Amino acid sequence: MKGLRKNTQIDHLMQSIFNLPGKKILTLIDANARISTFDISEEGVIGYHKSHKRLFYARLRRAINTHGGLVIRQFLPIKVERISPSGKKIWIPIKNVYGVYLGEGSWAPLSAAEIREVSCTDAKTGKPLPPEQDVRYRAFPVTNRKMNA
């Protein structure tokens, strides 16, 4: 039952994401280079409209069945003071950034080095970019395990 295996993969991935505390922003890139961004509240609610959850899961399923990637930005309760371009003092949350490879009916976590490389490389030119300030690149905390359908 191939469909069951894929749903189990999605459930396992989403449980791993929901286990990360705090607010999160998920950026999903599918096989057609379409980018979708969804918020997850501290309570685990996806998006701001009831249709967002269904839309996210449909796009995630498509990316897992073909190929794509998922970037998870976790907002930590720690904030640092920064000066905005206008000169105003602002408080910015520190973020952990994780990555997941999607494809062939499954997913695989990216290491800290892999997500850093992905995040710090210009997609058009391939040239290095400086790391984002107040971001920690982390290995996704769960490894994919084979599920029997």
40-73 pLDDT, tens per residue? 999 999 999 989 999 999 999 999 999 999 999 9
CB contact set of 23 (below 8 Å; sequence gap of 6+): 39, 40, 41, 42, 74, 75
pLDDT at 8: 86
- State the pLDDT confidence band at 7, using cuts at 50, 70 and 90: confident
Q: Is the pLDDT of residue 148 over 60?
A: no
Among 5, 135, 145, CA closest to 71: 135
Per-residue pLDDT tens over the stretch 90-144: 999 999 999 999 999 899 999 999 999 999 998 889 999 999 999 999 999 985 4
Rounded to whole angstroms, what are the CA distances from 13 to 9, 94, 127, 141, 145? 6, 23, 31, 11, 10
